[in-house]
Amino acid sequence: MLFEENDLNIEFKVLEDKEHIYELTISPDGTENKDYLSIDIENNFSASSDRTSITPDKVYKLSITMKNESADPLVLYSLWEDFIKETRNFTLSGENGNPPNSETQSINKDWVTYEETFKVQENEKFFMIRICSNKGLFSIKSISIEEIDDI
């Protein structure tokens, strides 16, 4: 539902156990006639994709539209050589290897779109995306990953 463009056929799995307590709600957005997902977290939340095959030398644009009302959501993505060896990892709108934390997150009641473009290197064969947060409320309107011509 959240993926507008999904050139990699990515599916998300939400981590469910006694340590992850949250409530998911799908709500309509009256201005754009589109649904969005609200995630109200009691202690922590984690959703991730399976490792998905990618093609070296291709260029992709990843974007997510969200609003952060009181949480500290992180959108992390990584590229892998095989199922064991991660080659590069990034935080969307964060610094490589240094994700923002609850002290640096922007609280924002408006929809904000974050996007990054990356080129797959020769040894990279898999892509993975993860969304996580501690206590609070945030919403996601869309996630997009699409192949583009160049950076």
100-120 tens-digit pLDDT: 544 445 677 788 888 889 999
- DSSP classification of residue 8: T
Task: Give the separation between CA 143 and CA 22, rounded to whole angstroms.
Answer: 20
pLDDT at 7 > cutoff 70: no
**Average predicted confidence (pLDDT) for the chain:** 80
pLDDT at 23: 83
Whole-model pTM: value is 0.79
pLDDT the model gives residue 106? 65
Residues 111-142: b if buried by 16+ CB within 10 A, e if exposed? beeeeeebebeeebbbbbbbbbbbbbbbbbbb
CATH class of 3-100+110-148: mainly beta
pLDDT of residue 2: 56
- State the Cα–Cα distance between residues 18 and 35, nearest whole angstrom: 28
CB atoms near residue 28 (< 10 Å): 10
